[in-house]
Chain A
Amino acid sequence: MTAVIDASTDPDANVERAWAAASTVVDPELPMLTLVDLGVLREISIEGDGAVVAAITPTYTGCPAMATMRDDLIRALRAAGFGDVRIRVALDPAWTTDWITPAGRAALAEAGISPPGRVRAGSGSTGSTGSTGSTGSTGEQPRPVPLQLTPTRRAVQCPRCGADDVELSSEFGSTACKAMYRCRTCLEPFDHLKEI
């Protein structure tokens, strides 16, 4: 094992080293994506006491992969020589699939998973919660999220044959973040990472 690094000596270089180590950690359920590709790893900082703090944001509130991601990050940072590693949960702003990087989208498609489209406007899914300082706004009512009684229409291509004649089998799939589709051309089923 590498000698333990005193991260407080050269914070800039160590933040860079920590990013390099953390960037190797992959999502346990989508192992073709690193936590950086996924947009889950938000920030790495060095505290005054030399501790490395990695901030991660949950994808779905109930996503059971979060505990594994946390453990894997701690392991990777320790293996890189950082003795004191802490994980901070960043809840605001809420994660969105728009944070998945272009490299991540390409890796998903390569693995047979259709990458998410852009989050549609007006779905209450964009921007910060505005949780700071907006007191006394009781009179003002938010715009209701529009009801959608027809199947969600997305421009989805079959990741196997590239055809765009696909049908939605279910808005829910093998993990919280996926919907299930079927290609009408090659007849193969496939997952689509749904917009959130």
Chain B
Amino acid sequence: MAEVHTPKPDEHDNVYAGLLANDAHWAFGTRPEDLRSEDPLAGVDTTVPDGVDPTALAAYCLMLGDDALVLSHRLSEWCSRAPDLEEDIALTNIALDLLGQARLLLVRAAAADPAEVPILPEGSPVPDEDRLAFFRDDSQFRNVRLVEAPNGDFAETITRLLLFSTWRLALFQRLLRSRDAVLAAVAAKGVKELTYHRDFAGRWFLTLARGTTESRRRLLAGLDALWPWWAELFETHQVERSLAQAGVGVDPASLAAEVEAVLAEVFVASGVDRPSTRPGIEGRTGRDGRHTEALSRMLAEMQVVARAHPRGRW
């Protein structure tokens, strides 16, 4: 093993001192081969609970994982473009939390049913979660369509984050009791993260609604644009139903009352009327792999480099 040079602590008082704590962190490309295994579930028991169909469990993990992955990518599109530095950092922090949730859920999907993982050329070092993220086509993504719509302006992005995180927080709170230990653990961590996301979005929603005429106009336009996708979040897919019955997943229809109540609290404080309920979109949904054109375009950009280098090591 190469010796790692660790300099003495820097007695000079400057903000860069911490960067010198360990040279190993800066020796890019010199990481020993045997340290490259980064399984985020290393040593975690990934046995599928009794009486649960592994394929259904994998599909369910992809649903929750793809919701997070796609919204994470959309939020990261704000990087360096948000209205100010604080919000730029906030949106990208939230994107990072969601990416972390997506990673664990995709790893869990791969462990439950390896047949879900795209096959790459022999010897490819690409880990399972990256194969799932970068080598599936749009019709294999299981996310709700709310998360794939283009960002719109800051008001629309905030509105989507409020809708999504309110819903996902309620879902994860119920997932805490999942019989699948990995899902329960992902939920335990996710609840803490999502609480910050929802409250951040709620405060901005209130600020924009009570701000200027222009900020309010933009907020209402964003809400109106996103609302057609809202009902889909509460439609129960067969996979969700069967896993809810098995005590592993959550039936999203059971979340409606709580989620609407939290949302109503934000709407009342903001002086915003809840848009009228519209019929859900008929037929197949994002959970079935039916998406809008926006997802295809997003994936084309997100996946192009990974797909060009299926043997790449990152």
Question: A177 CA to B190 CA in the complex, in Å?
Answer: 14
Q: Is the CB of B191 within 8 A of A131?
A: no
Question: A52 CA to B16 CA in the complex, in Å?
Answer: 34
Knowing that A75-B1, A88-B42, A172-B200 are A-B contacts, what are 14 other residue pairs whose CB atoms are under 8 Å apart, sorted by A's residue number?
A58-B40, A61-B189, A68-B25, A89-B40, A89-B42, A91-B41, A91-B186, A94-B188, A128-B188, A131-B188, A132-B181, A149-B266, A150-B203, A194-B196
Question: A142 CA to B184 CA in the complex, in Å?
Answer: 14
Q: Is the CB of B94 within 8 A of A172?
A: yes
| Interface size grouping (class) on chain B | 35 or more
30 contacts between A and B (CB under 8 A): A30-B18, A31-B22, A58-B100, A60-B96, A60-B97, A61-B101, A61-B104, A61-B193, A62-B97, A89-B44, A93-B188, A124-B192, A129-B184, A129-B188, A131-B179, A131-B181, A141-B174, A142-B174, A147-B266, A149-B199, A149-B203, A149-B266, A169-B86, A172-B196, A173-B93, A174-B89, A176-B93, A176-B97, A180-B89, A196-B193
Q: Is the CB of A26 within 8 A of B22?
A: yes
Q: Which residues of A contact B266 (CB under 8 A)?
A: 147, 149
Q: Which residues of B contact A129 (CB under 8 A)?
A: 176-177, 184-185, 187-188
Q: Is the CB of B193 within 8 A of A149?
A: no
Question: Which residues of B are at the interface with A, using a C-beta cutoff of 8 A?
Answer: 1, 4, 18, 21-22, 24-25, 31, 35, 38-44, 86-87, 89-90, 93-94, 96-101, 103-104, 169-170, 173-174, 176-179, 181-182, 184-193, 195-196, 198-200, 202-203, 206, 244, 247, 258, 261-262, 265-266, 269
Q: Which residues of B contact A194 (CB under 8 A)?
A: 196
Q: Which residues of A contact B199 (CB under 8 A)?
A: 147-149, 152, 171
Q: Secondary structure at chain A's binding surface: helix, strand, loop or mixed?
A: loop
Question: Which residues of A are at the interface with B, using a C-beta cutoff of 8 A?
Answer: 1, 26, 28, 30-32, 53, 55, 58, 60-64, 66-68, 70-72, 74-75, 78, 86-95, 111, 123-125, 128-132, 134-138, 141-142, 144-145, 147-152, 169-174, 176, 180, 194, 196
